[in-house]
Amino acid sequence: MRTMFKVMALAASLSASVSTYAFAEDTVEVLHWWTSGGEAAAVGVLKDDLQKQGVSWQDMPVAGGGGEAANTALKARVTSGNPPTAAQLLGMAVNEWAEEGLLGDLTSVADQEGWDKVVPDAIKAFAVHDGKWQAVPVNIHRPNWLWINAKVFADNGLEPPKTWDEFNVVADKLKEKGIVPLAHGGQPWQDTTIFDDVVVGIGGPEFYKKAILELDESALNSDTMVKVFDQMRKIRGYVDPNFSGRDWNLATAMVIKGEAAMQLMGDWAKGEIVKAGAKPGTNILCVAAPGTEGTFLFNTDFFAMFPVGEDKVAGQHKLAASVMSPSFQEAFNLVKGSIPARTDVPGDKFDPCAQKSMADLKAAQASGTMMGSLAHGHAEPAAIQRAIFDVVTQHFNSDMSSKDAVAALINSVNSAK
C-alpha cells in the first residue's frame, strides 16, 4: 500500500511538470478530422510545408462522424478561452462561428497576398465576413460524382448512366447478375449526399436552389419532391444488406475491388482510389451523378482562424499564407482529390477527373449553377441541415411513403427554423 502511494505521489509530481508545457516559438495547433489515409497524407503536406518555415505543427485530430466529435471539442476549447490556432470547418459552420463573433482576422495577410482576386465569389461568401477574411479555403470538393468500376461495367456491357432512369436500368441489370449495384454507407450524411444528387438530377438546378437553398415551401411540397423520394426508395433497393453504418471509404473500397459497381460520393473518394493503386478516370470512372451534368455542387474545407495571443499570431499568419499559396494548394489537392480553391493554379498535374472538375467549375460559375451542398454543410445552418438529414435517413431506412416523407420534411424544416 505504501509503495502504491509513493508511486501515486511520484506520478502526480510528474504530471505537474509535464503540464507546464513550454510552447516553442511559432507553433500552430490545428484541430481537424482528417484521419483517414488519403486525408491524413494531405494534412502531412501542410505540416511539412510549415516545418520548412520553422513553424512547428501541433496536431489535434478528432476522428469520427464528419467532424461531430471535433465540433464538441472545438466548442469546449473556445468556451474555455483556449482555442486552437485554426480549426477545420465547413462553410456554414464558418458562417455560424463568424456570426458569434468568435473568429480572428486575416485581412492584413489577405491584402498582402491578393486573395480577393483568385478565390471564387461563392467561396468568399463563407470566408469573408463584414469585409474581414476570417478563414482560408483549402480546397473545392464536388460531392455530385458517380464513381464506376470500369471493369465491372465493361464486362457487363454497360454505359455510365446519364439520368436517374438510365441509372435504374443499369442497376437492375447489375442486380440480376448478382452484383451489388451501389456501394453505400448508411450514415445520415451519406444518405443525404445521394439525396442532393437526386434533387438536382430530377428537379434540376433551379429546383435545388428553390427547395434546398431557399427552403421555398411550394418547392418542398411539390410533386417533384415526391418523385425525389420515389427515386430514393429505388436506390435503397440497390445497396447491399450490410450497408448500415459503413464508413464512406469502406464503400469506396468495395468499388475499387469490384465488389460493387458504383458509388455516389464526393471527389475525396479519389484519395482512397489512388492509395489503393487504382487510376481514377481509367480503372475507376468518374462521371457527374445522374442528371447533374452542368451543375457543380461544392463544399470547401476551411481553416477558420481563432483569435490567439500575440505570441501566436505570427505562426497563424504563416499558416494562413501557406494554405493559400499556389504551391500548397496544388500539392494538397493532388493528394486529397479535390481541386484548388484558387482559380489561378494550373491543372496539368491533376488527373482527368480533377481536370473535368476544374472545367465544370468554370462553366458552372458562368451559368450560376455552382451551389453549396446540403449534405456537406454549405447550404443551410446545422439545425436545418440536420433536420433534413433526419427525414432523409429515416425515409431511406424505413418503408415510409414518399408523400409522408414530404410532409415530414416540411414539418422538420419548419420546426428547426
Please report, as residue ranges, which positions from 274 to 303 form the binding site for other proteins (by CB under 8 A): 275-276
Q: Which is nearer to other proteins, 82 or 112 (CB)?
A: 82
Q: How many distinct helices (H) and strands (E) make up the chain? A: 19, 13
Residue of 290, 365, 407, 292 lying closest to 124 (CA atoms): 365
Q: Which is nearer to other proteins, 49 or 113 (CB)?
A: 49
Q: How far apart are CA 223 and CA 207, in angstroms?
A: 12
Element (H, E) at 154: helix 150-155
Q: How far apart are CA 35 and CA 128, in angstroms?
A: 27
Regarding 58 and contact with other proteins (CB under 8 A), the answer is: yes
Min dist. Cβ of residue 122 to other proteins (A)? 23
Do the bridges between strand 56-61 and strand 27-32 make them parallel or antiparallel, or are there none, so unpaired? parallel
Q: Which is nearer to other proteins, 47 or 173 (CB)?
A: 47
Residue of 41, 393, 355 lying closest to 192 (CA atoms): 393
3-state secondary structure of 308: coil
Regarding 410 and contact with other proteins (CB under 8 A), the answer is: no
Question: Contacting other proteins (CB under 8 A), which of 56, 73, 124, 166?
Answer: 73
Q: Which is nearer to other proteins, 295 or 412 (CB)?
A: 412
* Cell numbers linked to 111: 491584402
Min dist. Cβ of residue 92 to other proteins (A)? 10
Do the bridges between strand 86-90 and strand 27-32 make them parallel or antiparallel, or are there none, so unpaired? parallel
Per CB under 8 A, which region of 96-104, 152-160, 299-307, 321-329 contacts other proteins?
96-104
Per CB under 8 A, which region of 8-16, 111-119, 146-154, 353-361 contacts other proteins?
8-16
Q: Which is nearer to other proteins, 157 or 241 (CB)?
A: 241
Question: Contacting other proteins (CB under 8 A), which of 71, 329, 369, 373?
Answer: 71
Min dist. Cβ of residue 18 to other proteins (A)? 6
Q: How far apart are CA 63 and CA 32, in angstroms?
A: 8
Tell me the longest C-alpha to C-alpha distance in the chain. Answer: 77
Min dist. Cβ of residue 118 to other proteins (A)? 27
Question: Contacting other proteins (CB under 8 A), which of 52, 80, 131, 218?
Answer: 80
- Residues 375-394 close enough to bind other proteins by CB under 8 A: 381-383, 386-387, 390, 393-394
Regarding 415 and contact with other proteins (CB under 8 A), the answer is: yes
Residue of 363, 293, 386 lying closest to 68 (CA atoms): 386
Regarding 244 and contact with other proteins (CB under 8 A), the answer is: yes
Per CB under 8 A, which region of 143-151, 318-326, 355-363, 406-414 contacts other proteins?
406-414
Question: Contacting other proteins (CB under 8 A), which of 24, 25, 54, 63?
Answer: 63
Say if CB 104 and CB 308 are below 8 A apart.
Answer: yes
Q: How far apart are CA 89 and CA 73, in angstroms?
A: 13
Min dist. Cβ of residue 73 to other proteins (A)? 5
Regarding 105 and contact with other proteins (CB under 8 A), the answer is: no
3-state secondary structure of 107: helix
Regarding 47 and contact with other proteins (CB under 8 A), the answer is: yes
Regarding 258 and contact with other proteins (CB under 8 A), the answer is: no
Question: Contacting other proteins (CB under 8 A), which of 2, 3, 18, 218?
Answer: 18
Regarding 79 and contact with other proteins (CB under 8 A), the answer is: yes
Regarding 407 and contact with other proteins (CB under 8 A), the answer is: no
Regarding 24 and contact with other proteins (CB under 8 A), the answer is: no
Element (H, E) at 86: strand 86-90
Min dist. Cβ of residue 268 to other proteins (A)? 12
- Residues 151-210 close enough to bind other proteins by CB under 8 A: 186-188
Q: How far apart are CA 246 and CA 178, in angstroms?
A: 21
Min dist. Cβ of residue 44 to other proteins (A)? 5
Q: Which is nearer to other proteins, 131 or 241 (CB)?
A: 241
Q: How far apart are CA 154 and CA 148, in angstroms?
A: 10
Say if CB 196 and CB 375 are below 8 A apart.
Answer: yes
Regarding 362 and contact with other proteins (CB under 8 A), the answer is: no
Regarding 397 and contact with other proteins (CB under 8 A), the answer is: yes
- Burial class of 301 by CB neighbour count within 10 A (0 to 12, 13 to 18, 19+): buried
- Burial class of 100 by CB neighbour count within 10 A (0 to 12, 13 to 18, 19+): exposed
Residue of 91, 127, 65, 158 lying closest to 320 (CA atoms): 127
